[in-house]
């Protein structure tokens, strides 16, 4: 009888400790999973150094993404690195809101516009792009070079 009582107490204790917590499961995967980006492309990577009056927009750039917890918010275009002294190195980060395209999406392709500094001397300028989610977790970095040519 004592053994039966011990077994019942242990079973009851196990059932109580295995109960569910009252937290709602997050949509998608586990919270805190950083996004991953791939296949960064822009339709043009050569710009005139005088184009845009200091900065030009390169429309229709694409990047693939995977975000397990479906909370991707921003593509961050990180500061400028160049083979020339531009006098504005590094540029501030340029955040691009991508929420309308990514809400509830675990993977897909994002269409966005890159902003390229053009008031610098002709040369090659390298930008880094990362995806940032709602918990400020950053993805891997992808690098894209833009060439400024002297239009005079």
For residue 91, the enclosing domain spans 33-149
Number of domains in the chain: 1
Chain segment 39-82, per-residue pLDDT in tens = 999 999 999 988 887 888 999 999 999 999 999 999 999 876 77
Q: Is residue 12 part of a domain?
A: no
Contacts for 84 with CB less than 8 Å, ≥ 6 apart: 120, 121, 122, 123, 124, 125
Chain segment 93-109, per-residue pLDDT in tens = 889 999 999 988 999 99
Strand pairing category for 72-82 and 107-117: unpaired
Q: Is residue 9 part of a domain?
A: no
Q: Is the pLDDT of residue 130 over 90?
A: yes
pTM recorded for the entire structure? 0.74
Q: Is residue 26 part of a domain?
A: no
Three-state DSSP class for residue 72? strand
Distance of CA 80 to the CA centre of its chain: 17
Q: Is residue 21 part of a domain?
A: no
Q: Is residue 18 part of a domain?
A: no
Contacts for 143 with CB less than 8 Å, ≥ 6 apart: 126, 127, 128, 129
The pLDDT of 7-18, averaged and rounded, is: 42
The CATH number that applies at residue 115 is 2.60.40.2550
Q: Is residue 123 part of a domain?
A: yes
């Amino acid at each position: 009888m004592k053994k039966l009582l011990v077994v019942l107490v242990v079973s009851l204790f196990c059932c109580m400790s295995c109960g569910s917590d009252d937290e709602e499961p997050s949509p998608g995967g586990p919270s805190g999973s950083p996004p991953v980006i791939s296949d960064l492309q822009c339709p043009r990577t050569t710009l005139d150094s005088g184009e845009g009056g200091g900065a030009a927009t390169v429309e229709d750039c694409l990047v693939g993404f995977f975000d397990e917890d479906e909370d991707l918010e921003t593509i961050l275009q990180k500061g400028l690195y160049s083979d020339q002294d531009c006098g504005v190195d590094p540029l501030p980060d340029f955040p691009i809101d991508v929420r309308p395209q990514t809400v509830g999406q675990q993977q897909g392709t994002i269409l966005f516009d890159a902003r390229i500094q053009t008031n610098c001397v002709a040369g090659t300028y390298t930008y880094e792009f990362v995806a940032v989610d709602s918990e400020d977790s950053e993805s891997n970095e992808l690098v894209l070079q833009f060439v400024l040519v002297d239009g005079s």
